[in-house]
Structure 1
Amino acid sequence: MFALPFLLALSASLPLAFAAPLPLFGINFGSGSTADGTPSAVSQSTVDSTLLRPAQFARVAYCSPASVTALSCGAPCEAINQVKVLTAGGDQGETPRFYVATDPQTQSVVVAHEGTDPDKLLSIANDAEFAQVAMNATLFPSAAKGTLVHDGFQKTQGRTADIILSTVKSALSSSGFSRVLVTGHSLGAAVATLDATMLRMQLPSSVEVDSVVFGLPRVGNQQFADMVDSLFPTFTHVTNQKDPVPSVPPRFLSYQHASGEVHITSVNSAGDGTLVACPGQENDVSRTPV
């Protein structure tokens, strides 16, 4: 057991669905490959070096655009007070809140997306919008034919794609940084995964694009999951105990998680917990009671 400061930072403002029972539509059955390796323990140093900062950024995305721009949202903004916010927006409706900033601490351009209420996210992921569609050829020019993604998630990502892409390009040029970090929680994690994919396809290979997201629902089909694996060797999506959101949309509708899951197996009242890194795609071990 060790301290999970990033989880505490998130839990102060993010609507995580702790210990929620898995609904029928979240059951993992159907097509797609499932990993059968053994999870490995995640160290405190790994939490501090790779998960804490993205979690702090994801937390701030829930604040109003005005308070993010002014870094006046209290404790969330205080944790990242050295960043320079370049743009912030969103209406908490069709366009969830988002921002782009430069972070001198990590020498990165940061893109962060707000999530949504878990019940609303589960509804979006399983209602009529669960249909899979081809990826937008303009935003994702190297996506191969047959690579399909969730219609509602792609529409949401498309509403801010142009401003995010242009702002990131400008920020890389003005800052001299050569790394982009994309993060988000819940619906924001799905949008962030699509943003990271877009940025990897649109930016020069000399720019490192990393994505660390939290409570990620399934975004696309097996071909999409394989593409994410090939584009991002270090893609990380953190799942929390029995949170149902990562289990939707269901696999029998041809949805598949990419590799890179880090699963929180337990957390106590003091904020101490355990994490494991799960091998491959679709880890049944992370969906069983601990």
Structure 2
Amino acid sequence: MQPKVIRDAGERPLVLFSDSSGIVADKTFLQRSLLFAELAMIAYNDEAEVTRAAAEIGFPDVTFFNNRGAQAFRFRNRHNSVIACRGTEPNEWTDIRADVDAVSVLAETAGKVHRGFKREVDNLWPMLETSLMNNKQPVYFAGHSLGGAMAKICASRCLLSHISTNPQQLFTYGSPRVGNRSYVKFVTIDHYRFVNNNDVVTRVPPIWLGYQHSGYEIYFNRNGDIKQYGYLMKRRDRWRGFLKELVRWKVDHIGDHSIHRYCENLVKAVLAEKESIAAGGEPYTPCKLTIAPPDAPH
């Protein structure tokens, strides 16, 4: 894969590896995962840079939605449509308020959801729904951090709305818990939830407030490899990851949350898969034996 580098003065360059030409469903699972992670990463940038970056990986049609600080992009080409919600920006008060407002309230669908996340989606959904009402393409939802939580709620509303196309899949990276057990059980979407080792955001809001994760967990271990671990093995791996970074005077609970770290891990996974296929192996298939509920303690 040849990297595409998008540079903007004073900002970290965007290094992109995806190619969205063709139908997304025809790509391997890991290729799709990387594509949506890169779109979630792109979504943190200003509209002009997002448009440039999206065009580089095959999305010439970009629409920006912004209402009261809640933001998302629609990426579209001949074959696919993707809604990527922007995650938390530390200098945006509305994002911080959304993150900390963890009171659960009735969802638009069923059960209860995080009030701060719901408020962000309430601000955006009328615009998103209008833009998707006449959509004829497969539509996917993606997001990182707060954006992952918003993407989950948006995909749920899309599923139960008058929009003609149901969400194909939902990919979230470093997403917090969004709703309670009733919400998780009622909203059935093909959801893949990526967790990078000690990413602290994936452990909030706490279970004792009634929140649960949803979707199929894809876990990156301390070395950035996808592993299917049980509860005890995961705790052991997280301790090793913590100690590995501690000797470098770093706390990986924050560093592991970076969307760049998720993208780097997925680039490595896609390259390894490519080598495996060339040697006669099979593409990676996620294990769906353990869907989120009941949520194991972290």
Do both share a fold (TM > 0.5)?
Answer: yes
Taking CA–CA contacts closer than 8 Å with sequence separation of 6 or more, which of the two structures ends up with the larger relative contact order? 1
What is the match of residue 117 of structure 2? 153
User: Aligned residue pairs: how many?
Assistant: 221
User: Kindly tell me: are residues 12 and 97 of structure 1, through their superposed partners in 2, closer, same or farther at Cα, counting changes over 3 Å?
Assistant: farther
Letter in 2 for 1:180: V
Give the 3-state SS of the residue equivalent to 1:89 in structure 2: strand
By how many angstroms is 1:122 displaced? 10
Determine which of 48, 60, 77 is the counterpart of 1:83: 60
Across the aligned residues of Structure 1 and Structure 2, the Cα RMSD in angstroms comes to 3.5
Letter in 2 for 1:243: D
> Distance in 2 between the 1:82 and 1:102 partners?
5
Give the 3-state SS of the residue equivalent to 1:82 in structure 2: coil
By how many angstroms is 1:219 displaced? 0.5
Alignment pair present for 1:263 and 2:219:
yes
What is the match of residue 222 of structure 1? 181
> Distance in 2 between the 1:219 and 1:258 partners?
8
> Distance in 1 between the 2:204 and 2:97 partners?
10
The 5-angstrom pairing of residues 130-145 of structure 1 reads 130-135=102-107, 140=108, 143-144=109-110
Determine which of 163, 171, 175 is the counterpart of 1:212: 171
By how many angstroms is 1:56 displaced? 2.1
> Distance in 2 between the 1:277 and 1:83 partners?
34
- Cα deviations by residue, 1:88-127 (Å, 9 ceiling, x for unpaired): 0337xx52431113233xx222111111157989965774
By how many angstroms is 1:65 displaced? 2.3
What is the match of residue 280 of structure 1? 291
Letter in 1 for 2:147: G
Alignment pair present for 1:236 and 2:197:
no
By how many angstroms is 1:161 displaced? 0.6
Note if contact 2:133-2:164 (Cα within 8 Å) is conserved in structure 1. no
What is the match of residue 46 of structure 1? 29
TM-score, length-scaled by structure 1: 0.65
Note if contact 2:66-2:72 (Cα within 8 Å) is conserved in structure 1. yes
Give the 3-state SS of the residue equivalent to 2:160 in structure 1: helix
Determine which of 107, 125, 142 is the counterpart of 1:183: 142
Letter in 2 for 1:65: E
Give the 3-state SS of the residue equivalent to 1:97 in structure 2: strand
What is the match of residue 20 of structure 2? none
What is the match of residue 155 of structure 2? 196
Alignment pair present for 1:57 and 2:39:
yes
Percent of aligned positions with the same letter in both sequences? 23
Alignment pair present for 1:115 and 2:91:
no
> Distance in 1 between the 2:41 and 2:164 partners?
29
Using the TM superposition, name which of 256-265 and 214-223 deviates more: 256-265
Unaligned runs of 5+ in 1: 6-10, 15-43
> Distance in 2 between the 1:277 and 1:117 partners?
32
User: Kindly tell me: are residues 13 and 187 of structure 1, through their superposed partners in 2, closer, same or farther at Cα, counting changes over 3 Å?
Assistant: farther
- Cα deviations by residue, 1:175-198 (Å, 9 ceiling, x for unpaired): x32x11011100000111000001
Unaligned runs of 5+ in 2: 4-11, 16-26, 226-260, 273-283
